[in-house]
A = this chain, B = another copy of it.
Amino acid sequence: MPTEAELDRLYVVLVRARNPNNIGAAARAMHDFGLRHLRVVNDFPVPLESARSAIDASDVLADSAAFPTLADAVADCTLVVGTTAVGERDLQHELLVLSDAAPRICAELRRGNDCSSGAGRVALLFGSEKTGLSNDELSHCNWLLTVPMRQYAEVRHPSMNLGQAVAVCLYELVRDRPRPQSSARNPEGPSANGPQAAADCAPPNPATAADLERLTELLSEVLEKTGYIRRHPANGGPAQLRRLLRRMALDAENTSVWMGILRQILWKVGGA
């Protein structure tokens, strides 16, 4: 179970939530499970007045922050996880079920305990009630998680109520899980090569989302200037490039090296 300091580095980000009751419900679930930082991304002022009536959610809502773009909302985070109901969308990200995703998220939160690493700030994204996260919004994510639900033949887009989805995800994150040492003592057990191992694959000093977004913009400019995008329009959109870079699990150092490389190229092709 994450410590209070670790949970303090977990940000719930509601993207284009339209119903103030749902924002209030999300805030209440955060309060219930000990989270503080709610971020809201909307291109219009959010009517938080009615949300503020949600029982026990006032402290979370009072501290909530509004952002005009998703990139701004996740800029300081070192891991950005999107939630999705999957449906029939053709996902181009790694997708984990919630119970496998939670240990990975907790591992990243733990990394923040070492102040020198600059890591450990996690954004957990929830999309709008109607459409979920768009492909462009998903492209800001390092990977995705989904809550396993019953599949119905007649329902084409299964989805959860927003407040319930937030509650279930946070429950799983703060839920007691088997101690790591017991799975180590039981190497044939199902968890030995599971999510704990995957968590160890993340870079020791990951880049922030803001670094990656700057890198994406630079790369986009380079590809534009070099004529790549004209020849391969399907590969060169901002969403495609974001995914490309976020799949690489770049650390802060590599990111700055790549920035230097791209700036150099850009200067060479006459765009700087």
- Interface size of A by Cβ–Cβ distance < 8 Å? 39
Q: Which of B56, B148, B168, B178 contacts A178 (CB under 8 A)?
A: B178
Contact A56 B191 (CB under 8 A): no
A56 contacts across to B, CB distance below 8 A: 155, 158-159
Q: Which of B161, B179, B186 contacts A185 (CB under 8 A)?
A: B186
Tell me if A258 is interfacial: C-beta within 8 Å of chain B: no
Query: How many Å lie between the Cα of A182 and that of B191 in the bound state?
Result: 10
Contact A158 B32 (CB under 8 A): yes
A148 contacts across to B, CB distance below 8 A: 174-176
Contact B99 A176 (CB under 8 A): yes
Minimum CB–CB distance for A86 against chain B, Å: 13
**What number of copies of this chain does the assembly contain?**
2
| Given A25-B163, A34-B149, A178-B190: 19 more A-B contacts, CB < 8 Å | A25-B164, A31-B150, A32-B164, A34-B150, A56-B158, A147-B171, A148-B174, A150-B174, A160-B167, A163-B164, A165-B167, A167-B167, A168-B171, A171-B172, A178-B178, A179-B190, A182-B186, A182-B188, A186-B189
A34 contacts across to B, CB distance below 8 A: 149-150
Contacts A/B (CB < 8 Å), 17 sampled: A28-B160, A29-B161, A32-B149, A33-B149, A33-B150, A34-B149, A56-B155, A56-B158, A99-B175, A161-B163, A163-B163, A165-B167, A167-B168, A171-B171, A178-B178, A178-B190, A182-B188
Interface residues of A (CB under 8 A from B): 25, 28-29, 31-34, 55-56, 97, 99, 147-150, 155, 158-161, 163-165, 167-168, 171-172, 174-176, 178-179, 182, 185-186, 188-191
A178 contacts across to B, CB distance below 8 A: 178, 189-191
Contact B155 A161 (CB under 8 A): no
Chain B's closest residue to A56 (CB) is B155
